[in-house]
Homo-oligomer: A and B are copies of this chain.
Amino acid sequence: MSTGLVSLAFKDPARVSAVRRARILDAADRLGYRPNFVARSLAADGSSFIGILLSDLHNPLFAEIADAARQEFDAHGSYALIASATKARPEGRAPENPEEGGQAGSGASARGPGGLRVPGATGGADRIADEQVIAMFRDLRPRGVLVIGTIADTALLSGLPSATPVVYASAVSPEGSAHPSVRADDDAGMALLFDHLTGRGHQRIAFVGGAGGEVSRLRLEAYLAQAEARGMPALVARADFSEQSGYRAGAELAGLDPRPTAVIAVNDLAGIGVQAAAEQAGLRLPADLAVAAFDNTYLAGLHRISLTTIDPRNAEVGRRAASRLLLALDPDGARHAGLPRDGARNASAPGAGDSDALRDVSSPIGESRGAASAPRSARFGGAHAVASPGTEDVLVRPELIVRDSA
């Protein structure tokens, strides 16, 4: 039998006679034969998988998103590879990662502030250590790429065949990017928090955050907007995503004379820092100071923490980002091959309430981002090289989780 036939038998079994197919498949696994992924991706141009690129291994939020996305892909018969890149941080910039900032100081970590960089062996300048990973990733030619978090060097992705659809999750897409991003709606989250706190009578609500990265900055803006819209005084203590930082900010706030009665922290970790500072200052929680935050990491749910927080619904973000990508890959909708779609779906996501998963979307941001202002007509632009269905960002409506802290 010819090799071509064997190839067919694996790729499109239906087009091979039953006898042959049986013989091939049988012989294959008797010999332990498995088609070689690499050769395949070289020969066909473009592989059959969807790549997931994780920008930061340390961020647990990203892991959740990746899991959800992967489920979605699997449910649709697509494959996903996860490669990870360590985020290369500009020197001296605090990590966006809620975890790292709070590392216990006594560990044996030798990591410098600049992240993982190595002196270039080839070029002169430093390069991101994971450039290799990205290169490899690119050469594998994924059908589409889901980027989770912010990838430092946008140029790396540009090596992809230009028709490859890219979707960003949980990050604003880079400057002038035509790729959509899917993320939680921090403005909505902030509004939820204000509603809740004012509902409990708070009139002096402070914000802890604003530093450490884009997300922090956007949340600060959202805070200021809410405060103004409600005619409330704005009070900001600068902090990044770390507990330490929140602690310092909290101490500052606790010492103020007309003390705020509530604090909204940029993330759980900072919020915990605020709580710690408040306790230290002799305040009772939540009576003297209510604390709320963003992210709903598992930290917030610990008995001893019990922090009211905004759940960004990472699973939903991941799922939504994945669907978006799938749509771009197959704009016609669906029925093309393979396994019973619905069955697979139900099996892998039993109680998720999938049916209305697409309803709770806020309107696209519109003016707030360059990328978002791409012409809507591109949506159905079959004539374009990339028939990507829309480049508008998608905002997922977050959820308020009320706990003891506020």
* Chain A binding surface SS class: mixed
- In the complex, A279 has a CB within 8 A of chain B: yes
B71 near A104 with CB under 8 A, answer: no
Which of A171-179, A187-195, A259-267, A347-355 touches B?
A347-355
Which residues in B have their C-beta under 8 angstroms from that of A64? 58, 107, 109
Which of A16-24, A30-38, A204-212 touches B?
A30-38
A278-317 CB contact bits vs B (8 Å, 1 = yes)?
Answer: 0110000000000000001111111111000001011110
Interface residues of A (CB under 8 A from B): 34, 36-39, 41-42, 49, 54, 57-58, 60, 63-64, 66-68, 70-71, 74-75, 77, 79-84, 86, 99-100, 102-112, 116-119, 121, 129-130, 132-133, 135-136, 138-141, 159, 243, 247, 272-273, 275-277, 279-280, 296-305, 311, 313-316, 338-339, 343-344, 347-352, 399, 401
B80 near A132 with CB under 8 A, answer: yes
Cα separation A66 to B83 with both chains bound (whole Å) = 12
Which residues in B have their C-beta under 8 angstroms from that of A37? 135-136, 138-140
Say yes or no: A118-B349 contact (C-beta < 8 A), given A37-B135, A102-B301, A104-B298: no
Query: Which 3 pairs show the lowest CB-CB distances between chains A and B?
Result: A104-B301, A276-B303, A110-B352
Known: A38-B136, A106-B301, A243-B301. 18 other contacts (CB 8 A): A39-B139, A68-B110, A75-B118, A77-B121, A80-B129, A81-B132, A81-B133, A83-B83, A102-B301, A104-B296, A106-B311, A108-B313, A108-B314, A109-B315, A119-B347, A272-B304, A280-B303, A304-B305
Cα separation A336 to B315 with both chains bound (whole Å) = 47
Cα separation A74 to B399 with both chains bound (whole Å) = 42
B42 near A81 with CB under 8 A, answer: no
Which residues in B have their C-beta under 8 angstroms from that of A135? 34, 37
Partner of A243, one of B71, B77, B141, B303: B303
Q: Which residue of B lies closest to A110 (CB)?
A: B352
Which residues in B have their C-beta under 8 angstroms from that of A300? 104
B121 near A298 with CB under 8 A, answer: no
Say yes or no: A99-B60 contact (C-beta < 8 A), given A132-B80, A313-B108: yes
A401 near B106 with CB under 8 A, answer: yes
A107 near B313 with CB under 8 A, answer: yes
Give how many copies assemble into the complex.
2
Q: Which residue of B lies closest to A104 (CB)?
A: B301
Which residues in B have their C-beta under 8 angstroms from that of A103? 298, 301
Q: Which residue of B lies closest to A77 (CB)?
A: B121
Say yes or no: A296-B106 contact (C-beta < 8 A), given A121-B338, A132-B81: yes
Partner of A112, one of B136, B314, B316, B350: B350
A112 near B348 with CB under 8 A, answer: yes
A339 near B39 with CB under 8 A, answer: no
The smallest beta-carbon distance between A148 and chain B, in angstroms, is 11
Partner of A116, one of B71, B83, B304: B71
Partner of A66, one of B41, B57, B277, B313: B57
A81 near B83 with CB under 8 A, answer: yes
Partner of A276, one of B107, B304, B316, B401: B304
Which residues in B have their C-beta under 8 angstroms from that of A280? 303
The smallest beta-carbon distance between A51 and chain B, in angstroms, is 10
Say yes or no: A74-B301 contact (C-beta < 8 A), given A34-B159, A82-B84, A112-B348: no
